[in-house]
Structures are given as structure tokens and as C-alpha cells.
Structure 1
Amino acid sequence: MAGLLAPAGGLAGGLPEGDSASHGFSPDRLARIDDAMQRWVDDGKLAGVTIAVARDGKLVYDRSVGMADIARGLPMTGDTLVRIYSMTKAVTVVAALILVEEGKLRLTDPVSSYLPEFAGTGIYVDGGPDTPNTRPPKSPPRIFHLMTHTSGLSYPGGYDTTAVGTIYDRKDVFNPRNTLAELSKKTASIPLTDEPGNFHYGASIDILGRVIEVASGKPLDKFLRERLFAPLKMNDTMFTVPASLRGRFAELYTSGPDGKLAVLRDGAGLGLYETDARLLSGGGGLVSTTYDYLRFCQMMLNGGELDGARILVPKTVQLMTTGQVSPDRRGTLKDFSPGYDMGLGFGVLEDPGASGMPGSAGEFRWGGAASTEFFIDPQEKIVAVLSTQFMPSDAHKLREDMKALIYQALTAPDR
């Protein structure tokens, strides 16, 4: 499939444009990223992809290849609307920490202080999904457990094939017609997988979204819009896509039975993103653009501020990007992110050698289910965002390739 190669976008790219050579990148080596993205599209791995990189707050690389929607002939660009899925999580944790800074929320508070339905939630011991046996936790799940995926909450059976995952399926926790309040009550009626403190990926940050609503007195979408998106000029980040913007909304793809790209219809239509959907999923419900998310990342790299808009203070960002989970309690994190610890909402690179990818200790990152990815390297002052729409996210080694391609072009590190 032929691809489109877009020129650098200057101020339209979310950040001011900079000369790549002046910011330590080899232009010739950056061109290797162009070639790699073109191969991904030509080989039928992706319909379209965008990668944007900034250093020192300046956009030094911004390219798009292929199509956001093949059937419509819609080119992929930096302002294509994409489902960022779990990249929503970092945004939601930042929002919660705004409330921590205001004294409306404490990291050590039990979740039940804000959501009383969790006061009686037990830990799964044994039994099937119809009659699970539980016991009380030794210590209740707290707000920081939600932020580090150590609360004991889980996900439906696609992620958790145990009896607990089956119960999530049966209760239809993530039905788009549920409100966050309904999601919280359904989730609280399901046993925890383990004692709080052990990493287990799941609905933790969706529940944190409901905590934000209770602590702030505002719906999650309104709080995010007022306190994050408007100040950061993230005008294309939202939970629902209005009809006026659907012309920019990318299609979602997978591999068909013949190995060729196929539209993923299950959940790919509007689903969570319909204008009449009720679920504001703080764990995976946002639509955004490469350029919008690049601004979010730059705010984090700057210690909580961008273009005069102060979202968090540097000490809060430092806390967020400090590892929180001891090695013996990291569970599956060691499998899908080797070398990483878990901070508050971000995976934090502890051991670049163990990760199998170039990078710097202290770098923080996360990805989304449709193969999107971002990373922020404070040592090198680099932020990078990859946008595409392909599931499952582990089918192709896009994230590893992106990091290798970016760092191989960095000829002046540690400036």
C-alpha cells in the first residue's frame, strides 16, 4: 500500500518547530524513521502511523505515513483523532493529583472514604464465578494503590481468565451505557484478585476517575476539560466524538483471516465515543491526537507547566515518576515491561539493560491497546508520541522499533 509522507508541522504540530541538528539529532538518521514507517504501511502491518518527537521543547521530527481510514481515503496526520485507550490513564492520574495538591484528596486515603461501596470488598480465595469465596484484605485499597495498579482490581476475561475476570464480564462493567457511579458499584461487588500492594493491571484508574468526580463535585469530563485540556490547549482530546469531528476519526484495524488489514468492528465503531455514551472511562476512554498528547508529555517533562499554564508543581511530578512497587510485588509488570517499575500512572524505567531497548534511567512511558505509545526522557529532554490504530498492540514490535529508531538518531546525548 502506498503511503503519504507529511512534512514537519511547525506550530501546527502542538509545539514550536526546531532544527533537528541544533537539538542533537542527525537529519540523515531521522530519515530512517521515515523508511521504517513506510515499510510498516507497505508491508500491510498498519494502515497509517504518525511519530512526533520533541527535544528541549521543540518539535524536531513529525511525520505521518499511510491512511487513517483506507475506505474513506483519509490520510493519517498529526491531528487525526485516535483512540488512545490506556494512555488515558496518565491523564486521569494527573487530574487526581491536582486534587491532591488542593487538599481535596490524599494518596493514603482508603478508596472507601470516597466510594463507600468498596468498604466490604473482599479478596478472592477460591470457587467459581457463581460462588466465589472471599476474605477481608489485611489493609484496604488506598488512592495510591489505584494509581499504581496495586489495588487488587482486575479487568474482564480478555485480560483476566480467572473466575474474577469472568465476573467482570458477566456484570458488564465496561458497558458504554454505564455511568462511572454504576461502574464503581459493579466493580466493588467483585472480589479483589490479591492483597493491595501487588501489581495487577485492571480497572484501578477507572475507579480513580469516579474518585475525582466525588472529590471535585464535577463529572470527570468537565473536570478534565477545565483543569487540563483547556489550559494546555488540548482542544482535540475528548471522551465523545461529535458529528462535526468524525471526519477526522481514524478507523480501527486488525489482521484478518488472510493476514491482511481488516476493520475491527467489535468496539471499533463509536462505542464509548458515541455522543450518547455515558461511561467516562478514566482508564481507557479518551480520543486524542498526536499533537495534543505531545503537549501533555511536554508539560510533564517541564515539571508540570507548559506555556504559562501550571498544572502540577515539580515535586508532584517527581513523585509521579518515582518507582513505587518493590521488585517482588511487580507481578505481570515484569513480563510486559521488563526493566520498569510503576510510578503514579506511568511505567518508570529503572534498568535500561533489562528493558532490551535504548533509553535513560528515569524515563517514563505508557501505551494504549491500539498500539499507541509515548515516552518522556528527562535526562535527554525528549518526548515522543506514536499514533496508529491497530489491535492487538503486541502483534508488531512498534514500540521497540520506535525507541530504537529515535535513539539511533540522537548523536548528541547528555548535553
Structure 2
Amino acid sequence: MTPSKLNKARVADLHAMTNGYVERGDIPGIVTLIACGEEVDVDVIGTMTVDGAKPMRRDTIFRIASITKPVAAAATMILVDDGKLRLEDSVERWLPELANRRVLRRMDSAPDDTAPAKRSITVRDVLNSTFGFGSVMARPGTYWIQELIRDGHLGGDGPPHPSLAPGMDEWMRRLSELPLMYQPGERWLYNTSCDVMGVLVARVSGRSFDAFLRERLFDPLGMKDTGFSVPASKLDRLPGVYVFNHESRKLEEFDTVGDSEYSRPPAFESGAGGLVSTVDDYYAFCRMMLNKGVWGRERVLTEASVEAMTKDQLSPQQREGAELFFGNHSSWGFGMAVSLRREKPWMVPGRFGWDGGFGTSAYSDPANDLIGILMTQRMMDSPEPPAVFTDFWAGAYRTLEEQWH
């Protein structure tokens, strides 16, 4: 028998820690998964709603928010593997709305104080989030462009609202009416690039983003519960999602279970944050990535594509201004963060993955053959990881330490 790689006592400690969040009423329910090699531990605690009526299930379908981003990047790289895209290609052939861009001279420039883009936007710029447009990390109302992003429902100015976004072509038209914030390739900016990836995949493949994902990723990986909406037959597995009201000190419903925004297909299939999934579905994606593109006997991505996605794709200059996201310990590959320095025990160099604003976190660590996935339904209060995230990752790495005898 192969000896266990996970310390059973410390796995129990991890379960007790997450259970504490539920018992205190901080989070209604939690599903965790840690896997080392072939060994997989899943823990399911709490309830799907704050009223406690329905117990949490292993196959609960969570709104996974920004851990959609690595999936969007994988889809884009499949088209690179197919020879339909090259990293240095201009995107203008498929995204003419992004041709002949104007660029703000400064973030606080007037709308007409722009300069022409110095070059075209490339596929690489979209993949590594440096195409020149993204979330503005400033208080609402700081810059005029924030209001136009919000009014145009272009995303990145708050939690996803799938019911408000326009269709794909209209979304691109609205994006094209705004100047870029930085020159193509100049600066990493969060979020919007991954939505552009979804549009690029749809237009290059000639089918909807959802249809492409299903054919090339979800079906091969057996991700039967992953998509941009939850069908009526599965709605009993969709939990409530909650935001913490700091005045009342209570969790308040953000998206109703009875008539959820995720109960019907959205007009815009968001590569930045639109997917729903289960812990086992997302594990299949993570395992494929950790296996360098292979799932079972099938190759889903080339090893070269996985390597490109999971290595640092930014220069220090491109990371300027993104310290809130990266600190001094991480950077960005294609659609996901990559750890560079071990500032905390779990920040192992080469570890890759991301967090989702609806309370999800998923990272893979090649050095330890470790995958960790945390699924909750409490929204993050700030870009800083909530305590449950840091406690989960600290506990997950403690399970790898030398066995107690």
C-alpha cells in the first residue's frame, strides 16, 4: 500500500478550522478539497442558505467568479495549440473594435486628452492582461472612466451581475467607445482582458464561448456541472450567495436562490467571472493543468501551453501599480497568478491559481503535487484575501508535513 502523503491528524485540524467559520455564523457552508498525488480529501460542512434549511452538498454548484479566468485562458491556448491563433498576432482581425485605439495620456486626463496607441493589441497582451484596459482600483468617482465602465456594464467595477451585461457584440461596441488606460503591453490591469478572451474564443472558433468550452474542456474533463448558468433540473444545488453588512453585522443575500441571475443563460458569457462549477469539476481542471495538459488518456492542452500559462509573463514595469494583487511575492501568467517568493508557507514558487470574489480559491502546486480548492458562498469584502482563505491555505500546507508517529 502506498503511504499517505496527507497527515490525517492535520487534515482533521483543517476540517475543524473551516467548521469553526460555520459554527460562528461567518459563512453558511463550505466545501474544501485538498489533493496530493492520487489522494483526495473532500470536506462538506454547513448549509446552502443562512436559514439552514438545506445541508451543503459535495455537488453544490457554486458561482465561482474570478476562478473562471484560468479556464478562459486555457480555452484561448487551445486555439493557439490548434494553430488558429499565434501569441504575437494582432487581435484586430477578430476584434476590429480594438483597432486604432486611443490611449489616455494619464488616468486623470480629460476624455479627449489622448494619444494614438503605439502598436496593435496582440493575443499575448490579452492573455497576460496588458492590453491596456481593466478594473480601476480607486474609490468610485475618482476617475470619469469609472462611471462609464459601470453604466456600460463592462464588468470589473464590482461583483458580477450576469443579467445586466449586454450581448457580446454590444459589449465590444461599448468597450470600443472608451480609450485605453495604458499603451498596449505597458501595464497589467485586472479583469477585462479575460472577458475579451471569451469574445476572441467565440469569434475565432465560430461558436459561442460556452459551446467551445463544453466541447474542448468541459466534456473531455467530465465537468458536467460547469457552465454559465444552472439548468432548472439542478437549481436545488445552487446555494445562496451572501455579502456581509458591516452595519447590521449580518450576512445579507446578494443573489436570490429562488430567481437567481444564474438560473438562465446570460447575454454575455464572461470569461472574467461568469462560470458556475462544483468542487469535483474544478478539481478535474486543476488536475489537468498540474498534469501538464493531460487528463486520463487524453491531452487537452500541450505541455508548452500549460507552461506558458503558469509561468511569470510580466516584467516588473508591467506589474507597477498592481501591488494590491501581487505584493512582492507573486506575478501573473495567462489568466492566473504565479507565486515567485515564499512570503508565507503556502506561497511556494511555481504555485499557480487564483481567487474568486464570491468566496472561492483554487491553486495548484507542482513542487508538492498539491491541489487545494475552497468553495464558499460569502463574498469577499476587499481585494485582500479573507481570513478563511489564509487559514485554509495554511492548514492545507500543514497537512503535507512529516507524518506524526
Q: Evaluate the alpha carbon distance shift between residue 185 and residue 357 of structure 1 in structure 2; reply closer, same or farther with a 3 A threshold.
A: farther
How many residue pairs end up in the alignment?
Answer: 390
Task: Supply the distance in 1 between the matched residues of 2:332 and 2:292 (Cα, whole angstroms).
Answer: 18
Task: Supply the distance in 1 between the matched residues of 2:111 and 2:256 (Cα, whole angstroms).
Answer: 30
Task: Supply the distance in 2 between the matched residues of 1:289 and 1:142 (Cα, whole angstroms).
Answer: 33
* TM-score, normalised via structure 1 length: 0.88
Q: Is the 8 A contact 2:133 2:181 kept in 1?
A: yes
Deviations 1:31-59 (A, max 9, x none): 11111111111222211111101111331
Match of 2:374 in 1: 386
Deviations 1:70-116 (A, max 9, x none): 33612222210111111111101101111101110111112222111
Amino acid at match of 2:332: M
**Does residue 326 of the first structure (1) align with residue 315 of the second (2)?**
yes
Q: Evaluate the alpha carbon distance shift between residue 37 and residue 55 of structure 1 in structure 2; reply closer, same or farther with a 3 A threshold.
A: same
Deviations 1:303-331 (A, max 9, x none): 10111221112121111111011123213
Amino acid at match of 1:56: G
Match of 1:125 in 2: 105
Q: Is the 8 A contact 2:5 2:39 kept in 1?
A: no
Q: Evaluate the alpha carbon distance shift between residue 129 and residue 74 of structure 1 in structure 2; reply closer, same or farther with a 3 A threshold.
A: farther
Structure 2 gaps, min length 5: 156-162
Mapping 1:12-91, distance limit 5 Å:
22-59=3-40, 61-71=41-51, 73-91=53-71
Helix, strand or coil: the match of 2:60? Answer: coil
1:30 is displaced (CA, Å) by 1.0
Q: Evaluate the alpha carbon distance shift between residue 118 and residue 103 of structure 1 in structure 2; reply closer, same or farther with a 3 A threshold.
A: same
Q: Which has the higher contact order (CA 8 A, sep 6+)?
A: 2
Task: Supply the distance in 1 between the matched residues of 2:87 and 2:381 (Cα, whole angstroms).
Answer: 31
Residue 83 of structure 2: which of 92, 103, 110 is its match?
103
Match of 1:367 in 2: 355
1:398 is displaced (CA, Å) by 2.1
**Does residue 352 of the first structure (1) align with residue 342 of the second (2)?**
yes
Q: Evaluate the alpha carbon distance shift between residue 332 and residue 117 of structure 1 in structure 2; reply closer, same or farther with a 3 A threshold.
A: same
Task: Supply the distance in 1 between the matched residues of 2:371 and 2:182 (Cα, whole angstroms).
Answer: 35
Residue 315 of structure 1: which of 304, 321, 326 is its match?
304
Structure 1 gaps, min length 5: 1-18
Match of 2:174 in 1: 186
Residue 138 of structure 1: which of 105, 115, 118 is its match?
118
* TM-score, normalised via structure 2 length: 0.90
Q: Is the 8 A contact 1:129 1:166 kept in 2?
A: no
Task: Supply the distance in 2 between the matched residues of 1:295 and 1:309 (Cα, whole angstroms).
Answer: 12
Amino acid at match of 1:241: V
Helix, strand or coil: the match of 1:387? Answer: strand
Residue 235 of structure 1: which of 224, 231, 256 is its match?
224
Higher mean C-alpha deviation, range 158-167 or range 79-88: 158-167
Q: Is the 8 A contact 1:30 1:409 kept in 2?
A: yes
Amino acid at match of 1:108: E
Amino acid at match of 2:349: A
1:128 is displaced (CA, Å) by 7.7
Percent of pairs identical after alignment? 30
Match of 2:387 in 1: 397
Residue 342 of structure 1: which of 332, 336, 352 is its match?
332
Match of 1:290 in 2: 279
Q: CA RMSD in A?
A: 2.4
